[in-house]
C-alpha cells in the first residue's frame, strides 16, 4: 500500500468521523465539561459580536456561549454524535447556532466571511493538505481574528498519545498554522500560556495560544 493510500484510509473524512464518533460514544453523557473554553472567554469577551466560526466545535459549549453573547455563530464538527449533543444543549440554552456536521477542511465557507474563527484544541489532519488549511484561514475577514488554542504537550504526553495510536505530528499544529498565515495576518500572540479555568483533574494545564489578525 502506498503511504498516501494509507493516509487517505486513516485520515479520510469518513475514517476521522467514525473515529471521533466512537470516542464520543464511549461515554453516555458528555465528553467535555459543557463550559466554554477559558481562553476563548478571555480573548473574546471584550469584542463586539459579529460572525464567528467554531472549527471542531465538539459538544458545542463555545458556540452556545458565543451565540448567547450576541455572535452569529456557525459551528462545524465532523462527528455526528458530538453534533447531536451540541444541538441538544443549544435548545435549553436558547442559543441559535448554525450547526454543520462535516469536515471543516472540505466545507466551502466563503472567503473573508467571519470576524472570528475559533479553533479550540482542533484535531485537523495534515493529510488534508495545506491548501485546505489555507482556505479555512482565508475565511477570516480583513480586520477579523483567528484564535487557535492547542494543548502544550510535553514529550511524555506525545509518547503516550502515540501509544494510543494518535501521533500529534499527524495533525495541523500551531506552528503549521503560523507558517500558513503568511503576510495576510499579523500575529498578535503566539505563546505558551497557563490554561484558563481548566476542567478539574485535567493534565492539560498549559495552552499554546495563537491569536492573529487579518490585515
Ligand atoms: C479535542 S476536540 C475539541 C472540541 C471542542 N473544540 C472543545 O474544545 O471542547 C476536537 C474536535 O474536532 C473534531 N474534528 C476532528 N477533525 C475534524 C474536521 N476535519 N472537521 C471538523 N471537526 C473535526 C472532533 O470531532 C472533535 O469534536
pLDDT at position 10 is 67
d(CA 36, CA 61): 5
pLDDT recorded at residue 5: 44
Cα separation, 96 vs 44, in Å, equals 18
Q: Is the CB of 56 under 6 A from ligand 1?
A: yes
Residue 28: the pLDDT is 84
Helix (H, G, I), strand (E, B) or coil at 69: coil
Query: What is the pLDDT, as a whole number, of residue 8?
Result: 52
Nearest CA to ligand 1 atom 11: 56
Which is the closest atom of ligand 1 to the Cα of 122?
A: 10
For residue 161, the CA-to-ligand 1 centroid distance in Å is 16
Q: Say what the pLDDT of residue 6 is.
A: 43
Would you write out the chain's pLDDT as a tens digit for each of its 215 residues?
Answer: 443 444 455 678 999 999 999 999 998 888 888 899 999 999 999 999 999 999 999 999 999 999 999 999 999 999 999 999 999 999 999 999 999 999 999 999 999 999 999 999 999 999 999 999 999 999 999 999 999 999 999 999 999 999 988 999 999 999 999 999 989 999 999 999 999 999 999 999 999 999 999 99
Question: What domains can be seen in the chain, in order of their start residue?
Answer: 3-214 (3.40.50.150)
Q: Whose CA is closest to 132, among 3, 9, 5, 11?
A: 11
Is 83 touching ligand 1 by the criterion CB < 6 Å? no
From CA 209, how far away is CA 148, in angstroms rounded? 6
Report the residue among 77, 139, 166, 207 best suited for mutation to probe ligand 1: largest number of ligand atoms under 8 A from its CB. 77
Q: What is the best residue among 78, 83, 128, 135 to mutate for testing ligand 1's pocket, by most ligand atoms within 8 Å of CB?
A: 78
pLDDT at 9: 56
Report the largest interatomic distance among the alpha carbons of the chain, rounded to a whole angstrom.
51
Which strands form 185-194's sheet, in the order they lie side by side? Answer: 97-101, 72-77, 51-55, 114-120, 140-151, 206-214, 185-194
Q: What is the pLDDT at residue 33?
A: 83
Amino acid at each position: 500500500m502506498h503511504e498516501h493510500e494509507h493516509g487517505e484510509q486513516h485520515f479520510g473524512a469518513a475514517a476521522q468521523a467514525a473515529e471521533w464518533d466512537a470516542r464520543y460514544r464511549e461515554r453516555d453523557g458528555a465528553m467535555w465539561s459543557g463550559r466554554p473554553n477559558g481562553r476563548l472567554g478571555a480573548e473574546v469577551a471584550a469584542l463586539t459580536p459579529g460572525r464567528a466560526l467554531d472549527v471542531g466545535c465538539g459538544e458545542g459549549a463555545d458556540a452556545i456561549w458565543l451565540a448567547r453573547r450576541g455572535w452569529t455563530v456557525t459551528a462545524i464538527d465532523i462527528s455526528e454524535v458530538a453534533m447531536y449533543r451540541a444541538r441538544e444543549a443549544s435548545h435549553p440554552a436558547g442559543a441559535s447556532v448554525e450547526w454543520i456536521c462535516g469536515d471543516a477542511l472540505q466545507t466551502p465557507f466563503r472567503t473573508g466571511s467571519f470576524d472570528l474563527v475559533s479553533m479550540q484544541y482542533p484535531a485537523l489532519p495534515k493529510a488534508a493538505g495545506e491548501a485546505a488549511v489555507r482556505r479555512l484561514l482565508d475565511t477570516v475577514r480583513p480586520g477579523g481574528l483567528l484564535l487557535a488554542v492547542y494543548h502544550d504537550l510535553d514529550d511524555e504526553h506525545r509518547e503516550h498519545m502515540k501509544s494510543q495510536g494518535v501521533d500529534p505530528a499527524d495533525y495541523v499544529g500551531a506552528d503549521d498554522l503560523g507558517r500558513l498565515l503568511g503576510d495576510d495576518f499579523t500575529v498578535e500572540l503566539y505563546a505558551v500560556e497557563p490554561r484558563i479555568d481548566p476542567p478539574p483533574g485535567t493534565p492539560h494545564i498549559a495552552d499554546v495560544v495563537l491569536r492573529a489578525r487579518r490585515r
